[in-house]
Amino acid sequence: MKPKARSGRTKKRKHAALARVKNRPRKPAPKLSSSGLRAAIEIGELVRNRAEAEAAIAQARKSHERLREAIDILPQGIVFLDSEGRYLLWNKKYAEIYNKSADLFEHGVRLQDTLRVGVERGDYPEANGREEAWITERLQKLYEPGERHEQKLSDGRVILIEERRTDDGGVVGLRVDITELKQREESFRLLFDGNPVPMIVCARDDGRILGVNDAAVAHYGYSRSDFERLTIQGLQAFDAETPWAGGDKHAARSWRHVKANGDLIDLAIYSRELVYGERPAVLLALMDVTERKRAEARVAFMAEHDGLTGLPNRALLRRQIGKMLPHTRRSKDGLAVLVLGLDNFKGVNDTLGHAVGDKLLRSVAKRLRSTLREEDKLARLNSDEFAIVQSGLRRPDEAVGLANRLLEAISDPYLIDGNSVVIGASIGIAMAPGDGEDFEKLLKSADMALSRAKTDARGTFSFFEAAMDARAHSRRKIEVELREAIQNEVLRPYYQPLVDLADGRITGFEALVRWPHPERGMISPAEFIPVAEDTGLISAVGAQVLRRACMDAATWPDHVSVAVNLSSLQFRSGNLLSVVNDTLRQSGLPPRRLELEITETLLLDKSPQVLATLHALRALGVRISMDDFGTGYSSLSYLRSFPFDKIKIDQSFVRDLGANREAQAIIRSIISLGQGLGVTITAEGVETEAELHCLRAEGCHEGQGFLFSKARPGSEVAGLLGAGTDADKAVWTMVA
């Protein structure tokens, strides 16, 4: 019911309004339309007589009709009003645009009256609540035309109005329906203003900022008025750089802008060409990629630097040297690669902990850096090795000077977490272009020189020599052949007797491995055991020697034991205990007849696992001897960490026995120490009667050395046991 009632009321209202408009006293319709029309249809001539006048009028009517036809096909609405604002002529589009008021348009009706009716009916939403004021403003615009303005209609359409005065005081008005344009503008506004991505519109020609969205204000920290004073630099270059693809483009290069707080930000820019308030402009959507760039830079830095010290790593050094080498070849200036290795850094880590170790490395890096010139390169190669590249070198002794300065800089004590830490270093030097044509070769040469420096005397430097390279090659050859020798089980223990110094009897034999080489004859263990240790072959070598020795010893008289040397590395494999156990079982040798010789290096780090293995071996019934006693760092402390069955005094002390009183004193104290601990003392390397005499006088229990016998093949053991050793006579002589 209600809608009906409403429509009834609306109808009534409409009729009333119509009546009002139509009943208003009107001027008689002008015969020849209005003067405006006259102007429009350009009738300029005077009519002389009625006939002429009528013809003219007919002519004018015709023109009027044509004009109407013409303006009806225009896409814009057109209206002609006379000087008092009365409708003279309007086209179809005009009536269409104001479809709600079209019924009011009539020749001679005043625009202000149709407006008033329209306002009353609510056709102009902008007038709501201020009807009179709105009408006044509207009429003002009508009579002071020139400015375009927009008008909203109740159905949401937006009409652009442009009005001009005609010569005769009338008005010609243009109406364009810009609803769609407005909607587009509106959606642009929405997309622009409400977008979380900072956006800027700037003039295409001078880069002036024309508009910014809230996100840009928030991101940059400038106010809108600050922005208006700014220009976007580099827009021209951006314009020229890449073509606009369909009005859009993404800047390949990155941009940098300054925020209000002074921060520099990196941006990726997506842009679109547009017209902004009639100016050719560019809309820039700004993606802040500062963090990403920073992360990328960090990743790139990490890839080429050492995380602990921040120094370049091997990869970066390779790149740097790669650039320097061609120059070295062209010019007379040489280049030195120094590889600096810290001496016993592992010891610092083990005793003071890794935190102190790390701090030490950082301090070392700092000292090294401050010793170098700006143009010298410094890198950390691995845990305790650094590389220094000295360029512009005229003479090798300049490298010597630097090496000495570096060694000196390193050697001062470091105070770390309350600990005074002292660390030495050794340096290997290789010269370019002589010692290697590329980075890897140079570094390898310097590395070899470093190994040489370390073995010669720690705390020094050594130059690379071609002989080192040859040595490295021969080492490699040994490795290959040793693998083959292990495969073919050609390694053999030789046996050197251990003699009881009290009665001259052989108590046992030490198994000393020999490698019968088809070309080189018998190779000494001193030559190939270190290679076996470096290459992981030592476990296989050790197991083969142990098996042979146990099997051989099982055939000897029951009171004769066998001593087998173990490398520290065999303890790392984890299966040493089972290897020994299995070997004893398979050979049938009673455990008490097996002695295992270890060296002090095994106890260097007092690893609980090593000590556990030693105890377990001893629990099997096997005896454990400390070999080469006196050559380690703190021999006495090792004696405390494990209850050895035997101590073998290193041959260097025995060698000095005759000439050196200190050596005698040392031997004497070791012997009394052994007596105190209830440990057998064996002297190694007994070569002379005098030495033997001395050792016996001091009460040494056992001797081993060339004086008694060299190590002999297993086949000769029975003979040695039967005939006694070469020194038997001497012993008996002394006992007698």
Phi, psi of 596 (to 5 degrees): -110, 125
Query: Contacting ligand C2E (CB under 6 A), which of 390, 565, 587, 664?
Result: 565
Q: Which two tokens stand for residue 575?
A: 């299966």
Exactly one of 104, 335, 513, 610 binds ligand C2E (CB under 6 A); which one?
513
**Contact window for ligand C2E (CB under 6 A) among 356-364, 515-523, 561-569, 666-674:** 561-569
How far apart CA 194 and CA 187 sit, in angstroms, is 10
Length reported for the chain: 736
Q: Among the candidate windows 60-68, 185-193, 351-359, 560-568, which touches Mg ion by CB under 5 A?
A: 560-568
Give residue 322's Cα distance to chain centre: 22
Applying the rule CB under 6 A, the residues between 615 and 634 that interact with ligand C2E are: 627-628
Residue (341 or 685) nearer to ligand C2E, CB: 685
Contact indicator for 706, 654 with CB cutoff of 8 Å: no
Ramachandran quadrant class, 715 (left: phi over 0; alpha: psi -120 to 50; beta: rest): alpha
Of 502, 505, 561, which Cα lies nearest the Cα of 721?
505
Q: Which is nearer to ligand C2E, 335 or 553 (CB)?
A: 553
- CA dist 491 and 522 (Å) reads 10
Instruction: Rule CB under 6 A: say whether 542 interacts with ligand C2E.
Output: yes
Q: What character string, x for contact with Mg ion (CB under 5 A) and - otherwise, covers 621-660?
A: ------xx--------------------------------
Q: Which residues from 677-706 bind Mg ion, rule CB under 5 A?
A: 684
Among 236, 524, 586, 634, indicate the residue that binds ligand C2E (CB under 6 A): 524
Nearest to 388, CA basis, from 414, 407, 369: 369
# binding residues, ligand C2E (CB under 6 A): 24
Residue 706 is a binding residue for ligand C2E (CB under 6 A)? yes
Based on C-alpha coordinates, what's the Rg of the chain?
Answer: 54
H-type alpha helices, 24-73: 35-41, 50-72
Decide whether 123 or 698 has the Cβ nearer to ligand C2E.
698
Task: Specify the DSSP element, H or E, that contains 617.
Answer: helix 608-620
Contact criterion met (CB below 8 Å) for 650 and 684: yes
* From 309, 539, 561, 565, residue interacting with Mg ion (rule: CB under 5 A): 565
Cβ–Cβ < 8 Å for 389, 376 = yes
**# residues near Mg ion by CB under 5 A:** 5
Q: Which listed range, 56-64, 93-101, 258-266, 563-571, lies at the site for ligand C2E (CB under 6 A)?
A: 563-571
- Please state the closest distance from residue 570 (CB atom) to ligand C2E, in A: 7
Cα–Cα distance between 342 and 422 in angstroms, integer? 11
Which residue intervals of 457-560 are DSSP H helices? Answer: 466-487, 525-535, 538-553
Distances (CA, A) of 717 to 135, 340, 493: 134, 49, 12
Least spacing, CB of residue 463 vs ligand C2E, in Å: 30
Report residue 580 as tokens: 């020994």
Neighbouring C-beta atoms of residue 608, cutoff 10 Å: 8
> Binding residue for ligand C2E (CB under 6 A) from 213, 496, 507, 725?
496
Residues 645-664 that bind ligand C2E (CB under 6 A): 651
**Pick 391 or 599: Cβ nearer ligand C2E:** 599
Of the listed pieces 18-26, 162-170, 445-453, 559-567, which binds ligand C2E according to CB under 6 A?
559-567
CA 169 to chain centroid, in Å, comes to 79
Q: Which residue among 597, 600, 698, 702 contacts Mg ion (CB under 5 A)?
A: 597
Pick 542 or 630: Cβ nearer ligand C2E: 542
Considering the rule CB under 5 A, would residue 595 count as an interface residue with Mg ion? no
Ramachandran area for residue 207 (φ above 0: left; ψ -120 to 50: alpha; else beta): left
Q: Which residue is nearest to ligand C2E (CB)?
A: 705
Contact residue for ligand C2E among 512, 531, 589, 717 (CB under 6 A): 512
Nearer to ligand C2E, 198 or 705 (CB): 705
Taking the complex as a whole, how short is the minimal distance between the CB of residue 308 and ligand C2E, in angstroms? 35
Q: How far apart are CA 580 and CA 610, in angstroms?
A: 15
**Nearer to Mg ion among residue 309 and residue 561 (C-beta):** 561
Distance of CA 142 to the CA centre of its chain: 71
Give yes or no for a contact between 416 and 360, defined as CB atoms under 8 angstroms apart.
Answer: yes
For residue 583, state whether it binds ligand C2E (rule: CB under 6 A): no
Shortest CB 413 distance to ligand C2E, Å: 35
Q: Contacting ligand C2E (CB under 6 A), which of 545, 614, 681, 695?
A: 545
Instruction: State how far the Cα of 532 lies from the Cα of 478, in Å rounded to an integer.
Output: 9
How distant is the alpha carbon of residue 46 from its chain centre? 94
Q: Which of 118, 525, 632, 703 forms a contact with ligand C2E (CB under 6 A)?
A: 525
Per CB under 6 A, 166 contacts ligand C2E: no
Interacting residues toward ligand C2E by CB under 6 A: 496, 512-513, 524-526, 529, 542, 545, 565-567, 597, 627-628, 651, 684-687, 704-706, 711
Interacting residues toward Mg ion by CB under 5 A: 565, 597, 627-628, 684
